[in-house]
Amino acid sequence: MSYLNYSLKKLNTFNLSTKVYKLFIVKNLHDLCKLWKEYEKKCMPCLILGEGSNVLFLNNFYGLIIINRIKGIYIRESKNHWNLHVNSGENWHYLVEFTIKNKIYGLENLALIPGCVGSAPIQNIGAYGTSIKKFCKYVDIINPVNKKIQRINNKNCNFKYRDSIFKNEYYKKHVIISVGLFLSKKWIPNLEYYSIKHLKNYNITPQKIFHYICNIRKKKIPHPKIHGNAGSFFKNPYISIKKGLKLLKIFPTMPYIIKHHYIKLSAGWLINQCNFSKCIYNGVTVYSKQSLIILNKFNKSSGIDILNFAIKIYNTVGKKFDIWLEPEVRIIDSYGEINPLIYFKK
């Protein structure tokens, strides 16, 4: 299906009323490559979009957006493991539900994360003590122009906190088409995250963890149809232990976790200390239950309004703590994704 001058309001979770010159919904790889090649020849920007759950459109998009709906979940069983090959247009939460229903366990901590499977390795999605890095065996990518397919094994994906090789070297000229997942048949619950540690005291099952985390996320994150949002706008910062100890002397109640010789701080806590919960700008504010979430409160703000509010947060937190938050959300202008450092810099 194709559309001209199509509104993206229902295709981005910030509920922004931006438009795209041309939009296609594709259900197979042949059509994806054909469209990409055709519009690249016309020197028009192309963008692959899953469910628009981690993007901020600043303006109308003057090119082609391809909505990836290439689906399929394929299971191969060995003696000790489940091997899943999942096409990139599948909804991530549907995949988690699918595995639970089929008694394939391990992904339950990652329940209710928005978006498609294809975007999961790009951000190295994670929650409640785990991330896709732990389960990803490989990622298949394609160059839509020459149709060359590559399989990138886990160790070559350069998975880091909300980062991977797919945000860098393999970003603009390649498209993720499928993800391979590797899940042990010997299920061991992951209950190390502080807010779910208490579950160790119960007769825990994968299903109970799944439902518990779904309930937490529903309470913690507002539904985007009510208040437009993209979940966490900024990454939680990692700072040196030396700098962290200095800050703890000034702010002794500051929550922190020591990880890999660094201190991980809560970006939401930092934002909270700057009183943004009482601030509203052109209909944009932070969520009262979690300051890391920026809301298009009345679903009438523009992408520029949201960006300006985020810049205000960035500068205020930076000046107060000398910590400069990094956006997690991808920022899209009229011709494609842009480097956030253009706007967010010291």
Distance of CA 148 to the CA centre of its chain: 26
Closest C-alpha among 224, 254, 258 to residue 321: 254
Tokens at 107, concatenated: 């992904």
**pLDDT below 50 — which residues of the chain?**
none
Q: Which of 88, 164, 232, 291 is catalytic?
A: 232
343 φ/ψ angles, rounded to the nearest 5 degrees:
-105, -35
pLDDT value of position 300? 96
| Residue 162 is among the residues annotated as catalytic for this protein | yes
Cα separation values, 180 from 76, 88, 140, 190, 195, Å: 11, 10, 8, 21, 29
H or E segment to which residue 86 belongs: strand 81-87
pLDDT value of position 100? 98
pLDDT value of position 1? 67
Sign of the torsion angle spanned by Cα atoms 331, 298, 117, 193 = positive
pLDDT tens digits along 73-121: 999 999 999 999 999 999 999 999 999 999 999 999 999 999 999 999 9
Q: Which of 51, 90, 108, 328 is catalytic?
A: 328
299, amino acid identity? N
| Residue 97 is among the residues annotated as catalytic for this protein | no
pLDDT value of position 277? 87
pLDDT value of position 322? 96
* CA dist., res. 339 & res. 321, Å (int): 24
* Cα distance between the two ends of the chain: 44
* CA dist., res. 123 & res. 163, Å (int): 5
* CA dist., res. 250 & res. 38, Å (int): 58
User: Checking phi first, is residue 252 left (phi over 0); if not, alpha (psi -120 to 50) or beta?
Assistant: alpha
Q: Which of 108, 162, 178, 330 is catalytic?
A: 162
* CA dist., res. 83 & res. 74, Å (int): 8
pLDDT value of position 202? 84
pLDDT value of position 5? 87
- Residue 175 burial (10 A CB sphere; 0-12, 13-18, 19+): buried
| Residue 232 is among the residues annotated as catalytic for this protein | yes
- In order of start, what are the domains of the chain with their CATH numbers? 2-68 (3.30.43.10), 73-188 (3.30.465.10), 238-342 (3.90.78.10)
pLDDT value of position 323? 97
